[in-house]
Amino acid sequence: MNLAETWRPSHVIYCSEFLPAAWAIEGPQKLIEIVKAKRGIDPENYDYAQRDAAFACKSLGQRVSQRDYLDSHPYLQEWRESVEGWV
């Protein structure tokens, strides 16, 4: 049986950079460590780095939760409803 791949966000924004979402899966502290090691990004203000990483991880979690909800509760729309008023 062929299974479809589950959609997941491809990126997060941390320190004004688009970074792979996979880096944020393990939490804010791990995100900070990975970004420092792979991109050399090390903010001078550690509190800012913590807040920004926490926001990036929270945002990722919210987007995944929202998508999971929408995938499990599909909205079906008739074609006529979707183009009503166009003509």
- The total domain count for the chain is 1
Q: What pLDDT shows up at residue 8? A: 80
Checking phi first, is residue 36 left (phi over 0); if not, alpha (psi -120 to 50) or beta?
Answer: alpha
Q: Is residue 74 part of a domain?
A: no
Q: Is residue 48 part of a domain?
A: yes
Range of the structural domain that residue 61 is part of: 26-65
Q: Is residue 40 part of a domain?
A: yes
Q: Is residue 73 part of a domain?
A: no
- pLDDT per position as a tens digit, 7-61: 788 999 999 999 999 999 999 999 999 999 999 998 889 999 999 999 999 999 9
37-53 per-residue burial string, b: 16 or more CB within 10 A, e: under 16: eeeebebeeeeebeebb
Reply yes or no on whether the pLDDT at 78 is more than 60.
yes
Q: Is residue 79 part of a domain?
A: no
Q: Is residue 1 part of a domain?
A: no
